[in-house]
C-alpha cells in the first residue's frame, strides 16, 4: 500500500520506518531540507536504538521529501505524526496538525484516509475531517481515523513492531478495512472503536502511568520520613497481579515528551468542560515537586552551595534517548548554578544537546571518572547502565567529599554500606561509612 507520513519526529519517523519494514511503500514528509537530506542518506536525525538500521534496510520502500504535494497526491493512507507541544496554559497546540491537514486537502487527487497518529485532544479528529471535507477537491471522499501511538523513547521500534495493542478509532467500515490492511502483517491485538474513544484511550493510558509514577514517589517520600524501605514496599505491592510492578520505580519524577504534556492537556480539557480531574492534577503537582527532591536533600549536607564542586551524572530524562524534554536536569542545574556551584556533567548521549542550552558555566566531561574528580557532592539524575555498573568505590577514590545523592536508586543499600561514601537515595535510609 502507498502510505505518506507527515512529520519525522519520534512518532512520524518511527511509524514510517516500521510500516516500510512491514512491506508498505512509504514516503515521509518534513519541511527541513537538511533533515530530509540526512534521512535520505540513511542517517537518523534522532537517537533511537534500531531505527537507523531499519532505515537503511528498507531504502527501496522508504523515501523522504519536502514535496508534500507530490507525497500526498496519490497516497491511499496519510498518517499525521507531527508534534502537539504544550501551550502556556497546558493545552495542546494543534497548529501543526491543522497546517498538515490543510496541505493534504489542497494536494490529494483521490479518495484518501487521513490517520491521526499524533496525540490530540478528544474531538480533534472530528474537526480535522470537517476541514478536509471543506477544502478538498469536490467529489473526493476524505475520511479521518484515530490511531494513537504507545511508543516509549529508547524502545520505540520494539514498541511499534511488537505493540501490546493497536488502537484504531473509525466511523465507517471502509476506514476500518483500510487500517486493517495497513496493519495486516503486525499480528498484534487490534482494538476497534470510535474516534473519540480512541483519542481518550491514549490520554487515559499515559495519565494512568503518570499517576503510578507520582503515587510511588509519594510513598517513597513517606518512607523517607518514617524510616521504611520503598524497595521492599514496591516488591510487596508489585507481586499483587491487580497492581503489577511496572512504573512503580521511585525517583525524581517523570519527564519526556508524553507524560508531562498529556497530563496537563487532559487536565486542561476537563477544566475547559467544568470538570476537575483531581487525581491527574495531583500527579502533576507531585511530579513538579519531586524533580527538585535532590536539591532539598543536598541542603541537609551543605547550607551554602557557593564554591562547591558538584558532579552531575545523567542529563536526559531517561536512559536510551538523547531527549531532554522535561528532564530533571533542566530543573536542577539552573538552581545549582545560580547558587554558585561549579558543575561537572556527564551523559553518554545528551551532552551535545545540553551544551546548546548551557554552553557556559558547566564543564562537560568525557567519562564518569572525569566528572567525579575532586567534587564535593554528586547528583544522579538518569539511571544510565554506565552509572548503575560503576562501582561505588570509584566515587570515594575520586571525590573530595563522597556524598552521593541518587535520584534513581541505582545502587543496592547493601553495596553502599560497604563503600566509604555517604549514599542518600529516594525512599530509603541514608547509608555509608562517610560522615560529614
Contacts of 256 (CB under 8 A, 6+ apart): 153, 317, 318, 321, 323, 325, 326, 327
d(CA 427, CA 423): 12
Spatial CB neighbours of 373, under 8 Å, sequence gap ≥ 6: 344, 398, 399
Cβ atoms of 81 and 7 within 8 Å: the answer is yes
Phi, psi for residue 194 in degrees, rounded to 5: -80, 170
Question: Following CA atoms 175, 180, 183, 188 in sequence, which dihedral angle do they give, to the nearest 10 degrees?
Answer: 130
**Are the C-beta atoms of 163 and 150 separated by less than 8 Å?**
yes
∠142-146-148 over CA atoms, to 5°?
145
> For residue 92, what is the DSSP state?
B
Nearest to 310 by CA among 357, 275, 345, 259: 345
Cα separations in angstroms, 235 against 10, 75, 216: 33, 50, 12
Catalytic residue among 18, 28, 258, 365: 258
Identify which of 207, 147, 183, 188 has the alpha carbon closest to the alpha carbon of residue 12. 147
* E strand or H helix that includes residue 123: none
- Cβ contact 299:121 at 8 Å: no
Q: What is the DSSP letter of 35?
A: H
On the 0-12 / 13-18 / 19+ scale of CB atoms within 10 A, 110 is exposed
Single out the residue of 167, 163, 169, 129 nearest to residue 145, CA to CA. Answer: 169
Active site residue 223: no
Residues annotated as catalytic (active site), given as ranges: 258
Amino acid at each position: 500500500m502507498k502510505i505518506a507520513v507527515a512529520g519525522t519526529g519520534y512518532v512520524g519517523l518511527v511509524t514510517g520506518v516500521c510500516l516500510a519494514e512491514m512491506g508498505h511503500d512509504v514516503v515521509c514528509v518534513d519541511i527541513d531540507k537538511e533533515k530530509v537530506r540526512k534521512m535520505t542518506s540513511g542517517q537518523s536525525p534522532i537517537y533511537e536504538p534500531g531505527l537507523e538500521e531499519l532505515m537503511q534496510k528498507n531504502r527501496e520502500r522508504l523515501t523522504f521529501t519536502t514535496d508534500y504535494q507530490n507525497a500526498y497526491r496519490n497516497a491511499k493512507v496519510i498518517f499525521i505524526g507531527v508534534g502537539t507541544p504544550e501551550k502556556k496554559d497546558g493545552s495542546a497546540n494543534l497548529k501543526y496538525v491543522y497546517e498538515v491537514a490543510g496541505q493534504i486537502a489542497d494536494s490529494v487527487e483521490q479518495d484518501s484516509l487521513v490517520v491521526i497518529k499524533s496525540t490530540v485532544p478528544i474531538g480533534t479528529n472530528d474537526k480535522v475531517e470537517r476541514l478536509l471535507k471543506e477544502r478538498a477537491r469536490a467529489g473526493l471522499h476524505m475520511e479521518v481515523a484515530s490511531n494513537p501511538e504507545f511508543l516509549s523513547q529508547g524502545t520505540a521500534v520494539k514498541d511499534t513492531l511488537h505493540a501490546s495493542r493497536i488502537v484504531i478509532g473509525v466511523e465507517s467500515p471502509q476506514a476500518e478495512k483500510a487500517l486493517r490492511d495497513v496493519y495486516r502483517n503486525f499480528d498484534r491485538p487490534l482494538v476497534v472503536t470510535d474516534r473519540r474513544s480512541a483519542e481518550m484511550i491514549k490520554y487515559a493510558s499515559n495519565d494512568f502511568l503518570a499517576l503510578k509514577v507520582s503515587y510511588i514517589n509519594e510513598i517513597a517520600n513517606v518512607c523517607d520520613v518514617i524510616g521504611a524501605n520503598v524497595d521492599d514496599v514496591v516488591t510487596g505491592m508489585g507481586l499483587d497481579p491487580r497492581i503489577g510492578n511496572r512504573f512503580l520505580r521511585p525517583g525524581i519524577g517523570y519527564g519526556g515528551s508524553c507524560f508531562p504534556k498529556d497530563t496537563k492537556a487532559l487536565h486542561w480539557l476537563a477544566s475547559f468542560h467544568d470538570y476537575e480531574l483531581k487525581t491527574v492534577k495531583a500527579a502533576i503537582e507531585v511530579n513538579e515537586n519531586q524533580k527538585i527532591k535532590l536539591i532539598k536533600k543536598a541542603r541537609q549536607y551543605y547550607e551554602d552551595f557557593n564554591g562547591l564542586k558538584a558532579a552531575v551524572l545523567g542529563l536526559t530524562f531517561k536512559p536510551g534517548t538523547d531527549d531532554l524534554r522535561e528532564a530533571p536536569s533542566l530543573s536542577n542545574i539552573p538552581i545549582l548554578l545560580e547558587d554558585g556551584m561549579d558543575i561537572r556533567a556527564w551523559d553518554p548521549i545528551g551532552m551535545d544537546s545540553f551544551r546548546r542550552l548551557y554552553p557556559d558555566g558547566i564543564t562537560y566531561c568525557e567519562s564518569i571518572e572525569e566528572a567525579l574528580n575532586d567534587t564535593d557532592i554528586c547528583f544522579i539524575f538518569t539511571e544510565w547502565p554506565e552509572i548503575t555498573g560503576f562501582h561505588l568505590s570509584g566515587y570515594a577514590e575520586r571525590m573530595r567529599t563522597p556524598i552521593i545523592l541518587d535520584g534513581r536508586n541505582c545502587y543496592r543499600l547493601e553495596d553502599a554500606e560497604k563503600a566509604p561514601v555517604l549514599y542518600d537515595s529516594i525512599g530509603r535510609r541514608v547509608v555509608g561509612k562517610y560522615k560529614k
